[in-house]
Structures are given as structure tokens and as C-alpha cells.
Structure 1
């Protein structure tokens, strides 16, 4: 969908046309199994494949969403809207990195709306996001929770194509996350990076690291004991990649965050994959969940 509005371009070139692409879906129970009850998407976004799963006796649906374009261009705006009905269990991922291309005056944007009814589980584990030279990127994530619902959200940030000398050559990264529980705002964060204005290598920013990531979990089922057990399970892991720093913390209410920093996206993915396993075990009493690409990534980097 192309917006009729245009962004004012002060460079004197043609106006920037805003292009909105949407992917909306509702997941719910049919016959005791989670299925997609409705779906709607516009190019270049689409649902590539669904996988009914039985993991440890737990019936769950896995969905792979796809972007058929080379990445986000200036003026592109993506909307992902997922609603998970009561007691449904859904895992969503995508097929490739989210690549953000250069912007002259405008920006690229992703809005994610994740709504969970009572007892619903949504595990949102996308591939990393990479900002090319001169990219301007805005991200807004809104999560709405009800009783006993669980939302797991993974996020890995790459500062550019390092092999091309693009480390921290993007213009702006502006990401907001808000979480509501029964209409009460229980968590809000905003991370904004502008390398031209910030001392990126300071201890309060990236320090010596180039990549950052987090596994965030929100639910009224999270207790201090769950957070402690997740931390202990990660501490007991073997084979954590070299050069990765990590920590586990509670949010102000109903949440925990596993934060990681390192020098390669695959290293952060590998550790966050294990952190996700720990959360599934301690919070959901479920074994690890794997599709082919996760299993390949884990084994190929042993």
C-alpha cells in the first residue's frame, strides 16, 4: 500500500513517498490445536509457512513470516499485528535478517503489535536487524497481556556490514517497547543511538562491543525465583562463545530481560537460544523448541 502523503525532503530532491505494508493474523484454538484463524498481508510481507508442533505433549503452532523485498528502503513502513487468543500457543520467526538501507532525509519504520488473551503464549524470535550505512530506522513494539499470558521477545542489533567498514555508520536507531498488563503500563523503554552525536565506545554505550541483543519475557507468572533459576541455568551452560558478556535482570513488574553484548550476531543468537531454552523450562515447563534453521545455526557454530 502506498500512502498518498509524502515526507518533506529538504535536500531538494523528489518527495519521499511513504509505503505501508501490513501483516495481520489471529491465532486461536480449533480442536485443541492452535491454528491461524485469519491472516492478511500486503506485499512484500507474507506468511511463508506454518508448522503444527507437538513439543513435549504441548500442541503449538510455528509460523515463518517473510519479507520478499531486499530490505527496508527509505519511506518503507511495516506493520506486524498478531493477536493470540485464549490458551493458544504460537511461535513466530522470519526467514532472514531485517536489512535497513540508506536514507537521505526520511526513515524506515517497523511497528509490532502483539496482543495476548488469558493463558496465551507468544514466542517472537526473529532474525537480527542490520543497519546499513546512512540508515535511519524507527521501531515501535506494543505488547498487551492478560492473566497467565506469556510473551517472549528476542532482539539482536547489528551496527552494519563490518566487512565493508560500516560499523556504526548508520544515522539513527530509535526503538521503543511498551508493555501493558490489563491496560496498566508495566514496562517502557526507549533506545536511541545516533553515532555521529554519541561516544559509541564509552562505557555507558557500546564500550568495546559491536553487537547487542536481549531476550525479554513478560508475564504475571514471573517470580523472583523464576528469574534466579533462569540465571543459574545460564551460568551452568558450557560452550558459551568467547567474548560474549551477559546478564539477567527483573523489570519493574512482571518481566525479566537477558541482555547480551559481543562482536558477532551468531554468538549472541547462540546464547539467547540457550536463554530461551531456560525460560521455556522454568516458566512453561517445556523442552526446547527448534525449527530446522535454529538447529542448523546451533550445530554449525559448535
Structure 2
């Protein structure tokens, strides 16, 4: 990381990047976490054919509870208490030809309070021809004074699909902490064989603009998004189907087609993480049945 912040994920983080950290500096052991997973199709179905991790990431192999006969699951684990200031995480997940993989986290990602620098995660997902990836981590919880940037890039080959979900909780709600974080920025980009498909960015700075204002989150606290990326499928019908599937959920939900016939985005707003997760899971399950003729895997992680 350059001292002048030129490597910051966005200009708004450049000033943070120049702040030294008195404990473990950026780049110190345990600060630059790397996760590299590759799934491949074998005679027995999908297998994890390569994995490499550094602290704070850990994987313990695969689970075979996916309803899809060729699918497999990996839960990303962490022995730490959360993401701290100065952490830089890099996640790479590749799904090979005709493989079916589901990747999630063991528990919520806790972005700890910060008074110096910031934390970031850069995630690159790729799916080869005929493959499918479900990337559905547990919620991200933004503690008071957290500064966090995440950047996710998805690359699809022809006839491949992916479902990406993200739930953001703006504080430790049980103790009355709401929108006390300093800055949160999340960007999702997708590319297909012919070029860019869509880009979606969320940038929240409570001190500059009240997230509960009309046109932002309004009366709601927790928000979530699910991207059903399927460029080779009929988009309008899929959008209508998912909108109908989530219409009666406790969370406020809706679905709309993505640009360039890339698929569908489902958004959900609620007062609790559980209601938002339930709405997105309904959309995930319905989309998976449409794309793979198989239900979403069980969310049980204990």
C-alpha cells in the first residue's frame, strides 16, 4: 500500500490508507489473507481440486449435502474475531467446466471498530462453460467506526451461471448500535464472453447522508441483494418468477432484470437480518430450481 493512498480501492479511502497502524501494519503476517479455491468436474461429481489459504482463512474440505447430484459445498472458516483495521483480503474462486459449487462462510463477517486506516476485500469469481457457482456468505456486520471496502468481480463463460448474495447489518443491533460505522463501499461487477454485463455499487457514509432518509434505506435497517446471473437465459420471465416468489415475505422485497439481459437482481429490506436472509433464500432456492432443477443447499452450519 502506497503511503499516499494511491492503491486505495476508491478515492474516498485514500486518506485512510495513509494512516499508519500502531499495532500490526498493513502487510504484516495475518493482515493479508488469501483464499484460493478451484472446483473441477470428476467422474464422481464436483470436487475441490485446489485450495490455498493464509490467515485468517481456513477450509476443512467439502460437504456433500447439495441437492444437486453433482454439487459440492465449502464453508470458509476464520479463527479470528473479525476483520480489523489494515486487513487486506483476497479471495479467488474458480469453477471448472460443468462443475457445480456452493461457497459460504461459517458465520457472519464482523467488521471491527477502527480508528486508523481501513479494511478491504477483493473477490474474484470465475465460472467456466456449463458450470454454476452459488456464492452466498453469511451477513456482514459493520461495527461502530468501521471503514470497509469490498470489490467483487464475476467472470462467466458461455452457458455458465452464478448466484451471488450479500446481506449487510449496520451494527450490533441487539445492543442498539445502528449506522454508527464510518464508511462502507461495495462494488459488484460481472463480465461475460462479450464484455461487461453490469456493475452495482453501494456507498454509505452515515455522517454525510443519513441512511434512513427517503430514497436510501428509509424506515429499514438491514438490506440484502441477490444477483442471479444467467446471460443465456430468458430474463423477463425469470424476473417475474422471482418477484412473485418473494412478494409475500416479511421483508420488503422486489426483483428486476439486470442490464444486458444478464439476469435478475433481488433486493430486500428489513428490520432484522433473519427476515432479509429468508427473503433472499427464497429467491435463491427458486432461481436454483429454474437454473439447475435442484433446490438450494441447506443453511445448517453446525
- TM (normalized to structure 1)? 0.88
Q: Is the 8 A contact 1:9 1:16 kept in 2?
A: no
Match of 2:275 among 258, 262, 267: 267
C-alpha separation in 1, matches of 2:56 and 2:48: 20
Deviation for aligned residue 1:292: 2.4
Find the aligned partners of 1:15 and 1:283 in 2 and give their Cα distance. 45
Does the alignment pair 1:81 with 2:88? no
1:8 and 2:15 matched? no
The alignment's C-alpha RMSD in Å is 2.2
Distance 1:72 1:84 in 2: 26
Paired with 2:245 and 2:20, the residues of 1 have a C-alpha distance of 53
Q: Structure 2-normalised TM-score? A: 0.88
Greater shift in the superposed pair: 162-171 or 19-28: 162-171
The corresponding residue for 2:32 is 20
Q: 2:264 aligns with which of 236, 245, 256?
A: 256
1:285 to 269, 275, 293: 293
* 2:195 is the alignment partner of 1:184: yes
SS at match of 2:36: strand
Give the drift of 1:199: 2.5
Q: Does structure 1 conserve the Cα–Cα contact (< 8 Å) formed by 2:66 and 2:296? A: no
**Corresponding residue for residue 300 of structure 1:** none
- 2:46 aligned with 1:34: yes
In the alignment, the residues of structure 2 paired with residue 74 and residue 23 of structure 1 have an alpha-carbon distance, to the nearest angstrom, of 19
Unaligned runs of 5+ in 2: 6-16
Q: How much does 1:287 deviate?
A: 2.7
- Partner SS for 1:246: strand
1:162 Cα deviation from its structure 2 partner: 2.0
1:8–1:16 Cα contact (<8 Å) kept: no
- 1:247 corresponds to 2:254: yes
Paired position in structure 1 for 2:10 = none
